[in-house]
Structure 1
Amino acid sequence: MDERNVRILQAVAELGTGSPDEISEYTDIPKSTVHYRLTKLKEDGVVSNDLLDVDLEALGLEITVVTEVIAEYDEQYHEDVGEQLAAIEGVNQVYFTMGDTDFIVIAHLADREMVHRLISDYEAIDEVVRTSSQFVVETVKDEPHPLNDFELETVVESIADED
């Protein structure tokens, strides 16, 4: 990973496209280099898709539910319970956390019936002791591309520190 790769990834996030032509124009990196590096980033697993992000509200998935999940401690419970939570329809993100809460789960749903089913599915997991769910009233920030939250220099310095 080097500065050119970071610039390419930031351009992809900013432009919302993996088009070598547009990225080349945006970054002044030759198109052939952009194409080669994007291919390499995909092969290395750094880039997992072509950024065909979808507006969930346009699909009717307007309700965002954030749930704290408390589970019974057991060996490897974080993997077992985490996989069960992740498999529930509508769940988009599952985080195993430290502290009083074992998992934070984020789901995007269409209506109250789906919310009710979601909560029932959580409670159907044997190891789940308790849940606490909150509805998002207003999204203040939802940046799907974390690189947009950093200055180029910050990311370049962080990868330089790894070498």
Structure 2
Amino acid sequence: SSVHYRIKRLEEEGIIKGYHAIVDPVKLGYDILAVSFIRSRYDPKSYERLSKALPKIPGIWAVYFLMGDTDYVVLIRAKNRSDLNRIVYELISMKDIERSDTRIVIERLKEDIAVPMD
């Protein structure tokens, strides 16, 4: 069918990278969503070290490298405040991080991973 052909073509072109179940993190006990804005130290190797280290920290859900005053935005999923404290402490203990500003999300207004395919 034409739908099957289109899906196969999108997979071959790398547009469809895989298939995943969408789970509700809150129902799995991850009640806290936090966003951490990170400024790294100015060091030529800092980017390389942080880009490898940040994604490995348990509880870090996503890491984005930015242009501008903030170098990284890190999304954190935590089960409780103690769990969040552990993650934030691990962040601020890293020698390549100059400053970290972590905010707790109080309400999810939209959270959608779908990409429009016009």
SS in 2 for 1:52: coil
Residues 1:96 and 2:65 aligned together: yes
TM-score after normalising by structure 1: 0.65
Q: For residues 140-155 of structure 1, what are the structure 2 equivalents within 5 Å?
A: 140-147=109-116, 155=118
- Corresponding position of 2:3: 34
Rg (Cα) greater in structure: 1
Change (3 A) 1:80 1:40: farther
Q: Tell me if the contact between 1:82 and 1:103 (Cα under 8 Å) persists in the aligned partners.
A: no
Identity over aligned pairs, percent: 30
CA offsets per residue over residues 26-46 of structure 1, 9 Å max, x none?
Answer: xxxxxx222233233223322
Instruction: State the partner residue of 2:78.
Output: 109
Aligned to 1:17: none
What is the RMSD computed on CA atoms of the aligned residues? Answer: 1.7
For the residue of structure 1 that corresponds to 2:42, the secondary structure is: coil
Higher strand proportion (structure 1 or 2): 2
Return 5+ residue gaps in structure 2 as ranges: none
Displacement of 1:122: 0.8
The answer to whether the 8 Å contact 1:84/1:125 transfers is: no
